[in-house]
Amino acid sequence: MNKEDLIPGVSFLEDGTACVVLWAPKADTAAILLNDKEQLPLNKVEKGYWTLTTDIIKPFDKYSFLLDGTKQLPDPASRSQPDGVHGQSQAIDLKSFEWKTTEWQATPLQDYIIYELHTGTFTPEGTFEGIKNKLQHLKELGVTAIEIMPVAQFPGGRNWGYDGVFPFAVQNSYGGASGLMKLVDACHKHGLAVILDVVYNHVGPEGNYFNEFGSYFTDKYRTPWGNAINFDDAGCDEVRNYFVQNVLMWFRDFKIDALRLDAVHAIKDFGPKHILQEMREAVDELMAQTGRTHYLIIEFDLNDKRFIDPIKEHGYGMDAQWIDEFHHALRVTAGGERNGYYSDFEGIKHLAKSYRDAYVYDGIYSEERQKTFGTKTDNPGSQFVVFSQNHDHVGNRMLGERSSVLFSSSMQKLMAAAVMVSPYLPMLFMGEEYSEQNPFLYFVSHGDQELIEAVRKGRKEEFKAFHVQGEAPDPQSESTFTKSKLNWGSMAQEQQQDMLQYYKTLIRLRKTLPALSNPERQKLSVTYNDTQQTLQLHRWKDGNQVYCFMNFSKQPQQIEPPADALKMALNSAKNNDHPKNIIQPESIIIYTNKYV
């Protein structure tokens, strides 16, 4: 069989003919049960595949697979699960969507200013349609790309998305495939790129029927979520094809601009060609065919530049990666707790190193890991995504507190600026731009009572040392979910408006000052004073000079401002009435020779 014949699930040709592809090497017979009435036998072909080409199956027909005449199961490559993870699958024609924004030109990666959001809590509606209604706000804010947390079908209607069990199906309660396509179309109309968070390191527990079909998992390795996906054991060719085809579907059929691959350090693949490289090669081939540009961004904590190096330089070819280390160093510098994964970070010293070297641990000894860790990297700044908060670092706190609750307004502004003036791709977490006060908690809506109790127990165990703060919120409770929704009504308040205008100013500076939008990490110098808790960042590009003075202390500090020829572009302190060589506590001053 050719690659083009191995698109799993039910798909439709231009003439309306349905093509069925199922990998079920464990089965002796296989059929598709259509609308609970008609059985259509599948034809067994090589490597455990079963196929059928027919004009009997129509879009919106419901179906399931019947293995060995007894096992009735949803399609592991279902494009739609209208009745949830345990219900029948639904055939839909992804090619039939009528795109309105047909001349979309992809935003260059180096111009990405990312806004991460969760569909269910971003708006009162908790749907793709709700996001569409807020696109004008995001456009006016100045971000250039939205990143949507995972939307693969998960149990119930409340979940972060990392428990998805149907990687090809879009969550029905969000609006399904058509709802996501309409959102992408609207984003492109507003000039916004779309990044979709996808999970290829594990599959959720409830509604996970993969083992009924074939060896999708291997017991050779373990991940924090159970057995690893089988990328290098017996039967892995077909598993690899399944996930490569998933990548291609998002780009080809949904016109997604970039994928953010969750926790790729938990992908276990010791074969001769890493699955990430295979995905890169498949995407390159697709781009050559369509002329459209797509990016692969990874969440990754191994500090191994091989993952983001080009294939021709013996890398895996990923376009960019998240670097938590910048976040960790920034939070400790800002006065945040220094425990857990923060314990390895020395505040302003490591923040300065992250500005300069990207990786903090780049071949130096880590006390927490008790080993030498990481590699040095000369990759451009556009290959790194940085942030002062994200869904993990907020939601994995017991009470889900945002920076707006943990830090003063002045420190929030300083942290936001520290991200925005970096040589890396800046990312905001939803609501950050107006100092949202509501938490972002961990929530689920499982149907399996044993699983519900296990999640509750695990959450309590994780935070048993924090009992003085009370009980961890119940992840299964609907109130935990509703408490996590953004309070858009609060944006009218003075403090929220002040923060919103500040973020708009920051983003405008990032876009209009060549020195700040320049991804060349060599055109940067950084110095710091550990005693004063001050940091000076100097960046330049084509004659544009930018000096950023940051004071993380709670006292005014002395600085050496640049020459008079440079103008002040920003002072985050409300009290600006002070000598020129003094910077107020918890503030940043930006000077430039280009007036903005």
pLDDT at 194: 98
pTM across the whole model: 0.97
Instruction: Calculate the CA dihedral of residues 568, 572, 574, 580 and round it to 10 degrees.
Output: -40
Q: What confidence tier does 4 reach under pLDDT thresholds 50, 70, 90?
A: low
Pair 161, 282 in one domain: yes
Pair 464, 550 in one domain: no
CA atoms within 13 A on the CB side of 160: 19
pLDDT in tens, 15-29: 999 999 999 999 999
Pair 69, 188 in one domain: no
Active-site residue (options: 75, 262, 325, 344): 262
Three-state DSSP class for residue 198: strand
Q: What is the DSSP string of 334-380?
A: TT----GGGTT--THHHHHHHHHHS-S-SSEEETTTTEEE-------
What would the two tokens of residue 584 be? Answer: 């107020």
- Ramachandran sector of residue 419 (left: φ over 0; alpha: ψ -120 to 50; beta: rest): alpha
Asked whether residue 518 is assigned to any structural domain, the reply reads no
Cβ atoms within 10 Å, residue 371: 9
Pair 121, 82 in one domain: no
Q: What is the mean pLDDT of residues 482-504?
A: 97
pLDDT in tens, 233-276: 999 999 999 999 999 999 999 999 999 999 999 999 999 999 99
Active-site residue (options: 75, 299, 304, 325): 299
Taken in order 460, 465, 466, 471, the sign of the CA dihedral is positive
Asked whether residue 509 is assigned to any structural domain, the reply reads no
pLDDT at 339: 87
Q: How far apart are CA 260 and CA 274, in angstroms?
A: 17
Q: What is the DSSP string of 539-552?
A: EEETTEEEEEEEE-
Contact 345, 329 (CB under 8 A): yes
Asked whether residue 514 is assigned to any structural domain, the reply reads no
Pair 469, 551 in one domain: no
Asked whether residue 510 is assigned to any structural domain, the reply reads no
What would the two tokens of residue 206 be? Answer: 């409830």
- CATH number of the domain at 26, please: 2.60.40.10
pLDDT at 465: 60
* Annotation marks residue 163 as catalytic: no
Pair 115, 90 in one domain: no
What would the two tokens of residue 451 be? Answer: 């699983």
pLDDT in tens, 530-554: 999 999 999 999 999 999 999 999 9
Last residue of a domain, one of 95, 127, 146: 95
Q: What is the mean pLDDT of residues 443-472?
A: 84
Asked whether residue 65 is assigned to any structural domain, the reply reads yes
Pair 113, 91 in one domain: no
Q: Compute φ and ψ for 69, nearest 5 degrees.
A: 75, 0
- CATH number of the domain at 544, please: 2.60.40.1180
Beta strand 193-198 with 258-261 is parallel
CA atoms within 13 A on the CB side of 294: 31
Asked whether residue 287 is assigned to any structural domain, the reply reads yes
pLDDT in tens, 274-320: 999 999 999 999 999 999 999 999 999 999 999 999 999 999 999 99
Would you report the helix, strand and coil content of the chain in percent, each value rounded to 5? 35, 20, 45
Rg (CA), the chain: 25
Q: Judge whether residue 467 has pLDDT over 60.
A: no
pLDDT at 594: 77
Last residue of a domain, one of 95, 124, 139: 95
Pair 82, 122 in one domain: no
* Annotation marks residue 206 as catalytic: no
What would the two tokens of residue 99 be? Answer: 């795109």
Domain that holds residue 588: 524-592
- CATH number of the domain at 491, please: 3.20.20.80
What is the residue whose two structure tokens read 């992408």?
184
Contact 590, 547 (CB under 8 A): yes
Q: How far apart are CA 216 and CA 227, in angstroms?
A: 10
Asked whether residue 569 is assigned to any structural domain, the reply reads yes
Rounded to 5°, the CA angle 415-503-104 comes to 115
pLDDT at 140: 98
Last residue of a domain, one of 442, 474, 504: 504
Average pLDDT over the chain, rounded to an integer = 95
CA-wise closest residue to 459 among 448, 447, 444: 444
What would the two tokens of residue 265 be? Answer: 């350090």
Contact 420, 135 (CB under 8 A): no
Q: How far apart are CA 512 and CA 514, in angstroms?
A: 6
Q: What confidence tier does 458 reach under pLDDT thresholds 50, 70, 90?
A: confident
Asked whether residue 516 is assigned to any structural domain, the reply reads no
Q: How far apart are CA 129 and CA 122, in angstroms?
A: 11
pLDDT in tens, 405-432: 999 999 999 999 999 999 999 999 999 9
What would the two tokens of residue 50 be? Answer: 């079963």
| DSSP H helices in 133-221 | 135-141, 176-189
pLDDT in tens, 371-412: 999 999 999 999 999 999 999 999 999 999 999 999 999 999
Pair 547, 474 in one domain: no
Q: How far apart are CA 221 and CA 346, in angstroms?
A: 34
Pair 530, 497 in one domain: no
What would the two tokens of residue 518 be? Answer: 């320049």
Pair 50, 129 in one domain: no
Query: Which 8-state DSSP code applies to residue 490?
Result: G
Per cent of the chain over pLDDT 70 is 97
pLDDT at 463: 81
Contact 121, 484 (CB under 8 A): yes
pLDDT at 595: 62
E strand spans, 199-288: 217-223, 226-229, 258-261
pLDDT at 2: 62
Q: Judge whether residue 575 has pLDDT over 90.
A: no
Pair 461, 493 in one domain: yes
pLDDT in tens, 175-220: 999 999 999 999 999 999 999 999 999 999 999 999 999 999 999 9
How many domains does the chain divide into?
3
Per cent of the chain over pLDDT 90 is 91
Mutual angle of helices 409-420 and 494-512, in 10-degree steps: 20
